[in-house]
């Protein structure tokens, strides 16, 4: 009986450790947001593929702080002194789903993340522009004053200029 209990405990422990090792293949963070990444070993080398997308600060030998710098994705590789991989995954810096605005100008559009101020995720200069401008807003914050007036819905209305 004791041998069976030990075998079950060992199997559960190995399953948990393997699951933890394979679940650490990516991390999502917002722009100007920071997430803590805890490592299984002592970090010696930290490599960020695109520092314009995410910045990494070593907090201690077992923890990193990952900060979103710009929208996009970048790779993160963390090695120990022996060259063994502690983390090899993708850092995704994404716009928040709530409080997004899409500005339509003719057949072109620009997305804005608005929390607390609007920041363009693209520009008309990259795409060209025409004379008709329309805005589309999405707000999924339930406590917003507009909640009673249909927040969380998408609306379109003509706008006077492409600036926000």
Residues 152 and 125 grouped into a single domain: yes
Q: How many residues are given for the chain?
A: 164
Question: Residue 74 and residue 26: Cα distance in Å, rounded?
Answer: 10
Structural domain that includes position 131? 100-158
Dump pLDDT digits (tens) for 34-75.
999 999 999 999 999 999 999 999 999 899 999 999 989 999
- When mean pLDDT is compared across 56-60, 119-123, 144-148, the lowest value belongs to 144-148
Q: Which of 61, 94, 127 is the last residue of a domain?
A: 94
| Three-class SS state of 6 | helix
Residues 32 and 61 grouped into a single domain: yes
Residues 145 and 84 grouped into a single domain: no
CATH code of residue 34 = 2.60.40.1380
Question: Residue 15 and residue 138: Cα distance in Å, rounded?
Answer: 42
User: In total, how many domains does the chain have?
Assistant: 2
């Amino acid at each position: 009986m004791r041998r069976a209990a030990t075998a079950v405990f060992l199997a559960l422990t190995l399953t948990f450790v393997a699951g933890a090792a394979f679940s650490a293949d990516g991390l999502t963070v917002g722009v100007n947001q920071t997430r803590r990444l805890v490592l299984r070993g002592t970090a010696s080398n930290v490599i960020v593929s695109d520092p314009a997308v995410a910045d990494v600060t070593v907090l201690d030998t077992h923890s990193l702080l990952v900060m979103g710098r710009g929208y996009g994705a970048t790779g993160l590789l963390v090695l120990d002194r022996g060259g063994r991989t502690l983390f090899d995954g993708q850092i995704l810096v994404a716009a928040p789903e709530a409080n997004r605005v899409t500005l339509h100008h003719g057949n072109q559009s620009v997305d804005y993340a608005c929390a607390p101020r609007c920041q363009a995720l693209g520009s008309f200069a990259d795409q060209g522009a025409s004379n008709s401008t329309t805005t589309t807003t999405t707000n999924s914050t339930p406590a917003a004053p507009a909640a009673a007036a249909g927040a969380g819905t998408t609306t379109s209305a003509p706008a006077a200029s492409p600036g926000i």
